Every structure is written in C-alpha cells, then in structure tokens.
C-alpha cells in the first residue's frame, strides 16, 4: 500500500458499500422510504424478517385503511415486503 493510499485510508476510514450492501434491505428501505411513507395508511417502516426468516422490509399499516395494503408491493428491488396491520 502506498503512503498516499494509507493516508487517504486514515482520513476516510469508512469503506464504500459493496454491491451486496447496495441491494440489502437497509439500502433499499432508505432509497424508497419517502415514497412508502406517502401512501395513506402507512404508519411505520422498518427492517425485519419474513415468514421464511429472510431479511425483509416491514410496513405497518393502519387497520382503518385497508386500501393501503393493496398499494404496497410484495417486494422492492428483490427485497420481500411484509405488511402488518396495526
């Protein structure tokens, strides 16, 4: 490693996200959070697991707005979406 590379590594210790991280649930949720929260009846969004134990985006929907569930996708960029009524 060159001295310049080492110095830059000390200045910017974080590493850029790997391709797998760019399509992980946290990245996908961050990218789509604004759009999801604009859907009437969506109360919360977060990361959790689906019924098979895979990482998923979990969306809490108000029980008073059942139409919201129909507006939500089953997956976003390959990440499963779990809809929970509250």
> Are residues 73 and 81 in contact, defined by beta-carbon separation less than 8 angstroms?
yes
Q: Is residue 73 part of a domain?
A: yes
Each residue of 24-76: pLDDT tens digit? 899 999 999 999 999 999 999 999 999 999 999 999 999 888 778 888 999 99
Shortest CA distance to 84 belongs to which of 30, 44, 52, 35?
Answer: 44
Please state the domain count of the chain. Answer: 1
pTM here? 0.71
Q: Is residue 12 part of a domain?
A: no
Distance, CA of 54 to CA of 38 (rounded, Å): 26
Tokens of 42: 């969506």
Q: Is residue 75 part of a domain?
A: yes
> Are residues 80 and 54 in contact, defined by beta-carbon separation less than 8 angstroms?
yes
């Amino acid at each position: 490693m060159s001295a310049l590379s080492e110095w830059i590594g000390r200045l910017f210790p974080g590493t850029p996200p790997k391709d797998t991280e760019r399509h992980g649930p946290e990245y996908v949720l961050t990218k789509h959070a604004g759009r999801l929260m604009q859907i009437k009846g969506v109360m919360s969004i977060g990361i959790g697991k689906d019924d098979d134990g895979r990482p998923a985006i979990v969306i809490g929907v108000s029980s008073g707005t059942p139409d919201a569930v129909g507006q939500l996708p089953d997956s976003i960029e390959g990440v499963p979406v779990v809809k929970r009524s509250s």
